Amino acid sequence: MPLRGYSTSEDNLKIGLVIYGSLDTLSGGYLYDRKLVEFLRNQGDTVEIISLPWRNYAAHLTDNLTFRLPPGLDILIQDELNHPSLLGANRGKHPYPVISLVHHLRCSEQRPAWQNVFYRLVETHYLRSVDGFIFNSQTTRGVVSEILDNSIFEDSMFGEAGLGQRKPFIVAYPPTDRFGQGFSERQVTERAKSGPLRILFLGNVIPRKGLHVLLEALSLPQRTQRYTKKNQWFQLDVIGSLATDPAYARAMQHKAVALGISSQVSFHSSLDNSPLVEKLSNAHVLVVPSSYEGFGIVYLEGMAFGLPAIGTTAGAAGEIIRDGETGFLAPPDNALALAARLKHLAADRALLIRLSLNALQRYRQQPKWEQTAGEIRQFLLEMIKNSEK
C-alpha cells in the first residue's frame, strides 16, 4: 500500500518535525535534530520543520489553545523539549503516527523538588500521548520507562502501539562523527607532554552544565598553593552560548574574577567549524560537569581529538566515559572531587597520555551516524506501515 500522500513510491516520506526556535541552534540536541533532517532529505524524503517560538514554560502551555497537528504528513516527529506545547494537539486519535524524540526529560534536571513534581506530571501526560519513541541513550529510555511504570515498552523494537498499551521505540545514539576520523595517536601523545593542563568546557553557559562547579574546582589548588604567572597549572577555554542564560553567564565571568583565576579563563561564546576544531585540537581534556546529561554528544566529539572526558555520575555520561580509562566521572556539584581529578591529570602526563589514547579508541568504536540515522528511517517506515494495517 502506498504511504499517505504518495502514489509513486513507498520510499519517499513526508515527515514533520516540531521544534522550538531555529534548527540552527548550537547545542547537542539541535545537532541531533539537524543531522537527522539532513539525512532524511538526502534519502529523498520531504521534511517540514514546524517551529514554535521560544518562551517560558507557562507561555508554552498556552500553545495548547491554538496548536494542532499539521495535515498532509506520513509521520510527525516531536522533539520532547516541546512537550508543554503539544498536550492538546496530541489528544485523541492521531491522523498519522506521532513519535517523540527524547533527548532528556525536563523533570530529570536539578531543581527544587516541588517544581520537578509538576514537570513530571506534565511530561508523563505528554509521553502517554505519543505512539512511539526515539531515544538518544539507554539511560533516557530507562528514565521514560520508569516514569511510565515500566509497562509501556516491548523488549523488541516493535510491539502494539496505542494509549495505555506497549509502544515501539528505538535507541539511536547521536551523531558524533562530524569531525571525521579525528586525531592520530602520535598527535595525541605529543600534545600531552608539556605545558599547563589545557581544559575545554564546551556547552551552553547554563547552570545545568556545571561551569560554576568547574571554576570552583580550578580555584581550590590556587588557594592552597602559590602559583605565579610563569607557573600556572591550567588554562580554561569556555566555549558556549553566553546568551541562553545571560545572568548566569555574567555571574560566571564575575566568579572567575572573584576566585582569582580570570587570567587563566577565556570565554569565547559559541564557536563552530574551524575555530571549534582549533580549540579541540589544542586542548588536553574536556570537562563538562553537568548536573544531568541525557547522552552527552560533546564527550564523544572531544574523544575524536583524543580528549579524555570528565563528566558526572548523573545521567548518561557513564554510557560514554569509563571512569579511570577514557576520563573520569565525578559526583555532581562536587568541586573538591573534580579538582582532585584535574590535578592528577596535570601532574601525571603518562596518565594523561593513556587516557587520551583510550578516548581516541572509544570514539572510533562509536557507530557512524549514517548507520544510526538509517535505522531511525527504517523505524519510521515500520511505524507508518503498521499504522495503515
Per-residue pLDDT tens over the stretch 242-297: 998 999 999 999 999 999 999 999 999 888 888 999 999 999 999 999 988 888 88
Q: Report the alpha-carbon distance of residue 301 to residue 202 in Å, rounded.
A: 10
Q: Is the pLDDT of residue 223 over 60?
A: no
Q: What is the Cα–Cα distance from 200 to 229, expressed in whole angstroms?
A: 20
**What cell was used for 202?**
564546551
Would you state the CATH architecture of domain 185-365? 3-Layer(aba) Sandwich (3.40)
Provide the 8-state DSSP code for 193.
T
Q: Give the pLDDT confidence score for residue 231 in this predicted structure.
A: 57
Mean pLDDT value of segment 344-355: 95
Q: Percent of the chain having pLDDT more than 90?
A: 68
Side by side, the strands of the sheet bearing 327-330 are: 265-267, 234-239, 197-202, 285-287, 309-312, 327-330
Mean of the per-residue pLDDT values of the chain: 88
pLDDT score of 164 more than 50: no
**Could you count the other beta carbons within 10 Å of the beta carbon of residue 148?**
15
H or E stretch at 20: strand 14-20
Distance separating alpha carbons of residues 371 and 132, to the nearest angstrom: 20
166-179 as b/e: b if 16+ CB within 10 A: bbbbbbbbbbbbeb
- What pLDDT was estimated at residue 180? 73
Residue 293 in contact with residue 104, Cβ under 8 Å?
A: yes
- Check pLDDT > 80 for residue 374: yes
**Cβ atoms of 249 and 215 closer than 8 Å:** no
Q: Which residue ranges does the chain devote to CATH 3.40.50.2000?
A: 14-175+368-387, 185-365
Give the mean model confidence (pLDDT) for residues 320-342: 95
Output the pLDDT for position 162: 37
Which set of grid coordinates corresponds to residue 122? 506534565
Between residues 1 and 165, the one the model is more confident about: 165
* pTM over cut 0.75: yes
- Residue 222's pLDDT band (boundaries 50, 70, 90)? low
Is the model more confident about 201 or about 225? 201
Would you state the pLDDT for residue 31? 86
Q: What is the pLDDT of residues 39-82, one digit of tens each?
A: 999 999 999 999 999 899 999 999 999 999 999 999 999 999 99
Q: Could you tell me which CATH class the domain 14-175+368-387 is placed in? A: alpha beta
